[in-house]
Amino acid sequence: MPKDLIIEYIRRDSNSFYQLLGPVFGSRSIAKEVGIHAYDDADKQWIGGFELGELIGWLSHRNPLSPIVMYSSLIDVKAF
Instruction: Give whole-number Cα distances, 61 to 3, 24, 46, 76, in Å.
Output: 25, 15, 7, 19
The predicted pLDDT at position 1 comes to 54
pTM more than 0.95:
no
Comparing CA positions, the residue from 29, 28, 41, 33 lying closest to residue 74 is 33
pLDDT in tens, 38-73: 888 888 888 888 888 888 888 888 766 666 655 555
pLDDT in tens, 7-22: 888 888 888 888 888 8
Comparing CA positions, the residue from 38, 45, 41 lying closest to residue 66 is 45
The predicted pLDDT at position 32 comes to 84
Cα 1 to Cα 4: distance, rounded to the nearest angstrom: 9
